Amino acid sequence: MAVNVEGTVVRKERRIPTKGEVFVKVGELVEPDTVLARGTVRNPEVHEIRVYSKLGVDPEQVKRYMLKEEGDEVKRDEVIAIYRAFFGRLTRTCRSPIDGHLETLLKSGAALIRGMPIPVEARAHIPGIVVELIPGEGAVVETRAALINGVFGVGGETIGELIIAVGEPDEALTAEAITNAHKGKVVVGGSLVTLDALRKAANVGLSGVLIGGVDQKDLTDFLGHEIGVGVTGREEAGPTVIVTEGFGVYPMDGVTFNLLKSHEGKRASIDGTTQIRQRMLRPEIIIPL
Residue 235: its pLDDT value, please?
Answer: 85
Q: Are both 104 and 177 inside the same structural domain?
A: no
- Establish if 1 belongs to a structural domain: no
Is 216 in the same domain as 202?
yes
pLDDT tens, position by position, for the chain (289 residues)?
666 777 899 999 999 999 999 999 999 999 999 999 999 999 999 999 999 999 999 999 999 999 999 999 999 999 999 999 887 688 999 999 999 999 999 999 999 999 999 999 999 999 999 999 999 999 999 999 999 999 999 999 999 999 999 999 999 999 999 999 999 999 999 999 999 999 999 999 999 999 999 999 999 999 988 887 678 888 888 999 999 999 999 999 999 999 999 999 999 999 999 987 766 789 999 999 9
Give the amino acid at 52. Y
What's the confidence (pLDDT) of residue 194?
97
Domain harbouring 104, CATH code: 2.40.50
Count of structural domains within the chain: 3
Q: Quick check: 289 and 146 in contact, CB under 8 A?
A: yes
Does residue 4 lie within any of the structural domains? no
The pLDDT of residue 225 is: 86
In a domain, residue 250? The reply is yes
Distance in angstroms (rounded) separating the CA atoms of residues 67 and 139: 43
Indicate whether 2 belongs to any domain.
Answer: no
Closest CA to 37 of 25, 27, 23: 23
- Say which CATH number the domain at 239 has: 3.50.30
**265 and 214 in a common domain:** yes
The verdict on 76 and 59 lying in the same domain is yes
- 134 and 29 within one domain: yes
On whether residue 71 sits in a domain, the answer given is: yes
Are 36 and 124 contacting, i.e. CB atoms less than 8 angstroms apart? yes
Same domain assignment for residues 67 and 14: no
- pLDDT score at 229: 63
List, as one string, the DSSP characters of the chain. Answer: --EEEEEEEEEEEEE-SS--EE---TT-EE-TT-EEEEEEE----EEEE-HHHHHTS-GGGGGGGBSS-TT-EE-TT-EEEEEEETTTTEEEEEE-SSSEEEEEE-TTS-EEEEEPPEEEEEE-SS-EEEEEEETTTEEEEEEEEEEEE-SEEES-EEEEEEEE--SSTTS-B-GGG--GGGTT-EEE-SS-B-HHHHHHHHHHT-SEEEEEEE-HHHHHHHHTS---SSB-----SSSEEEEEEEESS-PPPHHHHHHHHHTTTSEEEEE---BTTT--S--EEEEE-
Other C-beta atoms lying within 10 Å of the C-beta of residue 45: 13
Same domain for 262 and 215, yes or no, is yes
Task: Look at residue 5 and tell me if it is in a domain.
Answer: no
Residue 86 counted as domain residue: yes
* pLDDT at residue 278, rounded to an integer: 62
3 is a domain residue: no
Q: Would you state the torsion angle of the CA atoms of residues 172, 177, 182, 184, taken in this order, to the nearest 10 degrees?
A: 30
pLDDT at 230: 72
Same domain membership, residue 196 and residue 278: yes
Q: How far is the C-alpha of 61 from the C-alpha of 107, rounded, in Å?
A: 10
φ and ψ at 106, to 5 degrees?
A: -85, 155
pLDDT at 52: 96
What type of residue is 279? Answer: R
Q: What pLDDT score was predicted for residue 279?
A: 60
Q: Are 124 and 166 found together in one domain? A: no
266 shares a domain with 194: yes
Residues of the domain holding 93: 46-115
Same domain, 213 and 154: yes
Residue 107 and residue 137 share a domain: no
